[in-house]
Structure 1
Amino acid sequence: MKLLDEMDRKIIRELQRDARLSNTDLAARVGLSPSRCWQRVKRLEERGYIECYTAVINQKRMGLPDTVMVEVILDRHDDGFFEKFSQTISALPEVLEAYMTTGEYDFIIKVAVAGADGYEQFLRHKLYKIPGIRQTRSSFTLRCIKSNWSPPT
């Protein structure tokens, strides 16, 4: 796979800031003609550097102002069990992100909830209903210091 050049990186950075930019505005920001910019964006999409365009939703406005990081240890560690747990956890709307990890915990899950009551409901009625969870540990976040939706370019 061909590595990105500096112009590709500029295009990606601008689209990360505002994916709704018109091609004309994007081209002006990065210093390319609109046709050349469009060609580069299409190539970045085709090669998988740009996977999709999405809207970032404000959790507080959606009534879910709190973020909880949940560490999970499972009873079993076979591939089939990990896959089933991954599918189940991915289907829960409160789960914003879920990572299989190394170390003491098998998964770290980022959850959006409405306070302690909302988190208790999530635990009792959803997470703890999933078979095979041996242990969890939770931390409410105080505030987000940095949020970025993709790796550095």
Structure 2
Amino acid sequence: MPDEPLLDDPVTMRILTELRRDSRIPNATLAERVGLSASSCWRRVRALEESGAIRRYTVALDDAVLGDGFKAIVHVNLVRHDAAMVQDFIRMTRITPAVRAAYATTGAADYHLHVTCRDLAAYNRFLDDHLLSLPAVKGAQTFLVLKTIKEEDGPG
């Protein structure tokens, strides 16, 4: 692999594009699509994995098919940023399946959560049982997702 940054290499970018589209693509097919021999392609993918550029392979879930038709972006503010309270909040986001992504941010909210649930009743249970029951949480503002425009790990 060249010493230049990974994203400056057009072949590497084509490899990453194909793997993002289908991480289960056979190496021979991937090599053909990006114009490399199978062994050269395998070495590049292996180098991307070893460098950490490819952290893991995953599956894209279709929330609607799975019955999770309710999506929201939730802005969360904490009362205090005491280390133990923040860790409790972070732990909740990591172990609660309804929380698909969580970001610490600058601006008016301390955290932004991407939450999916079956319906409004399930979302209310998430609020009561998980989010608002935490002593660190001062409040949450919910923004309903009306339509998904782009989602990297979603259906293609």
Q: Say whether the fold is shared (TM-score over 0.5).
A: yes
State the 1:64 CA deviation.
Answer: 0.8
Residue identity opposite 1:96 in structure 2: R
Which shifted more, 35-44 or 77-86?
Answer: 77-86
State the 1:82 CA deviation.
Answer: 2.4
Partner Cα separation in structure 1 for residue 128 and residue 92 of structure 2: 15
1:138 equivalent in alignment to 2:151? no
State the 1:2 CA deviation.
Answer: 4.9
Correspondence list, 1:2-151, <5 A: 2-4=4-6, 5-149=9-153
Indicate the SS of the match to 1:138: strand
TM-score, scaled to structure 2: 0.90
State the 1:7 CA deviation.
Answer: 1.2
State the 1:115 CA deviation.
Answer: 2.0
State the 1:79 CA deviation.
Answer: 3.9
Cα-Cα RMSD: 1.4
Partner Cα separation in structure 1 for residue 66 and residue 37 of structure 2: 40
Partner Cα separation in structure 2 for residue 7 and residue 81 of structure 1: 46
Indicate the SS of the match to 2:63: coil
Residue identity opposite 2:15 in structure 1: I
Is 2:72–2:145's contact at 8 Å kept on the other side of the alignment?
Answer: yes
Question: Tell me, which stretches of 5 or more residues in structure 2 are unaligned?
Answer: none
Q: Percent identity among equivalent residues?
A: 36
Runs ≥4 residues deviating over 6 A? none
Residue identity opposite 2:11 in structure 1: M
Question: Tell me, which stretches of 5 or more residues in structure 1 are unaligned?
Answer: none
State the 1:78 CA deviation.
Answer: 3.6
Residue identity opposite 2:23 in structure 1: A
Partner Cα separation in structure 2 for residue 135 and residue 52 of structure 1: 34
